[in-house]
Structure 1
């Protein structure tokens, strides 16, 4: 009887202790809750990667680690009430609030966001009896250059159009439309190349078959900011037209535009030449008149010499010119018009 009673008492103690252990275990459990959607930010901005404990617990005595697949070292480590940045590129750019840990807030803030910050972040929280994690996808948006369209001829004489742009992140959506507004994107192929900054150079190539068409290339950010416009460029294309023919047409148009100006200028030059020729022809006459005028001027000395050489002359009316009328004394004559 005693043995049975002892045994029953022992089982009661064992069951009670086991239930107490289970109660402690369930009370220590928690979940790390983060957003189900990606966090989108922009270069130079400040972004928060939100993470919370559920139920709300004081996490100041827990170990917390933020990591990314890019590095084996943690972005941030909270351990023994100390905050440590293990990755140099994040030093001075992360904010982790010790006060907020009281309320189960284990969020990480990144300042002055860089393109390289875009990654899949993991937040791990450890207690003595439990651990959990959440993953947050951070996308860093960069709107790159305007797209440009160029014409490319392949070795098999096929013509294609290439739409390209630089400094984008992440890869933008490239849409082709023809002159009727029809979507031609399915006929294109896209290629990307990453530069040293982690930004993308994107290009899309589409074949051209119609004799004439107008193509529009639209680059659209997959997560556009409200004040960021989509980039659009329109390109007119007419295959089969030689580059030399295009140059000839351009030169012809220039010639047509310049010819009237040249004709007007030539007419003005001709008028000037005619004026100069007339002046050149009159120059000898002008010099002759000048010499005659100079010869008509008699100095005082010459006049005195002429007067001192005067002679007494008597005109004979019989032998005088019929244009002259001689006075009776033969000393004076005058001219008369006999017409």
Structure 2
């Protein structure tokens, strides 16, 4: 709830802003807005206008703009024509009420430098004491992004992959691949990523066949459905593509790379045969082309293309770049670093790549076992530990190493990506004296075990049987004496 001295705005949901202009009118009226949506391009100014019908002065009415469903009327201070603004951070300084048409019952809200988040429905309300009228307006924000760029990439099966990339589009655009005759080609993967700025980045992959038979002209067109406009790029695949792709290969590690949480990661790839890579673009990526883990071009890091989670954590070892060998260091390994990486070298407009798998490992704390006594001599054992990655394997064992059946372990992954584990075992057999809780990290083969002695239950059991044994002894002696 937002409050001002002398009145309140209770019942209203402040979405992006609340703007009140103190005005007053006594007769009934209707509020009208534009017949269709209001279109504004990203970065431009948007004008939202509503007016009274029949036409009359609105110099003494209360006017409210908001971005939520209609609610109860808002009480505003009477007298004066000062504008009160209540705005959240992303709207502050971008809103202005234009009062040029107030004498004719028309008001306009100006939104400067429109952003994708401004798109949506708005409400304009005129109020006079207990009577109000309102209307809705639809603002459609659209952005025509960059022209597409087609990247040529080779794959390990000898085929050619084409990647169409573009950025700065809103709303989500449509992508179409065409051959030289204008026939549609079907993409094998489509990724439209919404960036921090609210705009879409396009990454569409097309496989065009075996490199030995590729002599095609391929086009990538990106279309904005709101603006009904788009941009395209045409690529003439070079006739010498097969020779260019066969001349160089990118080599990476053939086995998974193990690294413990907190250690530094080293991802090395190199060209075969040895080739000077100083003038090449070298790119380390995860599943998508952008944002990247690291991009080395023109002798430096392309910081604008780097994923936020790797900023400040990466460095490049380039002392062997003249031989085509580069090593990316990722400092302070995290659980989120686990997975596959791709290393791409660009030569003459063609990208060759190698894939590598990173195995992030963490061995957690020593297990802690607690014992809870239950009815009928049963005991509930709980084994807990934290800080494991990947998911650990939990087992209960007896003194001879045999597995004791237990409830499935409960795993919880924290914000740091590490797993906490909890396992329960119900002991109902009083003859069980010792058990052990074992938690292991399967990739490393390391485990941590803690043994628990339940011998106290055995002592209690023997103590309870002692009076019975003594009674039997007395009866036996008595019978022998009587017989004698």
The TM-score, its normalising length taken from structure 1, stands at 0.54
Partner of 1:202: 421
What is the distance in 2 between the residues matched to 1:72 and 1:58?
Answer: 25
C-alpha distance in 2 between matches for 1:68 and 1:27: 25
Q: 2:452 aligns with which of 235, 260, 270?
A: 235
How far off its partner does 1:102 sit? Answer: 1.7
Residue aligning to 1:89: 309
2:260–2:362 contact (8 Å) kept in structure 1: yes
Classify 1:154/1:195 alpha carbon distance in 2 versus 1 (closer, same or farther; 3 Å): farther
Question: In the alignment, what sits opposite 1:139?
Answer: 359
SS in 1 for 2:320: helix
Q: Distance in 2 between matches of 1:205 and 1:235?
A: 13
Cα distance per residue 1:131-166 (max 9 Å; x no partner): 2222222233222221122346899x9865332201
- Correspondent of 2:268 among 29, 50, 53: 50
Question: Which secondary structure does the structure 2 equivalent of 1:193 belong to?
Answer: strand
Task: Please state whether the residue corresponding to 2:243 is helix, strand or coil.
Answer: helix
Match of 1:211 among 430, 433, 438: 430
Greater strand percent: which structure? 2
Higher Rg of the two aligned structures: 1
Shift, 1:77, TM fit: 0.9
- Aligned residues of 2:278 and 2:322 also touching (Cα < 8 A): yes
Task: Give 1:67 shift.
Answer: 1.6
Structure 1 residues not aligned, in runs of 5+ = 1-20, 250-339
- The 5-angstrom pairing of residues 1-339 of structure 1 reads 25-26=242-243, 28-29=245-246, 30-69=248-287, 72-85=290-303, 86-128=306-348, 130-151=350-371, 160-184=380-404, 187-213=406-432, 214-224=434-444, 230-237=447-454
Contact 1:60–1:98 (CA under 8 A) maintained in structure 2: no
User: Is residue 318–residue 325 contact of structure 2 (8 Å, CA) maintained in 1?
Assistant: no
String of CA shifts for 1:12-39, please: whole Å, max 9, x gaps: xxxxxxxxx9878425432222222221
Matches of 1:194 and 1:71 in 2, distance apart? Answer: 28
Q: Is the 8 A contact 1:46 1:112 kept in 2?
A: yes
- Indicate how the Cα distance of structure 1 residues 154 and 70 shifts in structure 2: closer, same or farther if over 3 A, else same: farther
The answer for the alignment partner of 2:138 in structure 1 is: none
SS of 2:317's equivalent? coil
Unaligned runs of 5+ in 2: 1-237, 465-484
C-alpha separation in 2, matches of 1:208 and 1:69: 47
How many Å apart are 1:69 and its aligned residue? Answer: 4.1
Cα distance in 2 for partners of 1:118, 1:24 equals 34
Q: Structure 1 residue 178: deviation in Å?
A: 0.6
TM-score between the two structures when normalised by the length of structure 2? 0.39
In structure 2, relative to structure 1, the CA distance for the partners of 1:26 and 1:163 (3 Å cut) is same
Q: CA RMSD in A?
A: 3.8
Distance (Å, rounded) in 1 between the aligned partners of 2:351 and 2:390: 33
The change in CA–CA distance for 1:61 and 1:220 in structure 2 (over 3 A counts) is same
- What is the distance in 1 between the residues matched to 2:404 and 2:271? 49
Task: Tell me the matched-pair count.
Answer: 221
Aligned counterpart, 1:307: none
How far apart, CA to CA, are the structure 2 residues paired with 1:136 and 1:154? 52
Q: Secondary structure at the match of 2:410?
A: strand
Q: Matched residue of 1:106: which SS? A: strand
**CA 184–70 in structure 1, closer or farther in 2 if over 3 Å, else same:** farther
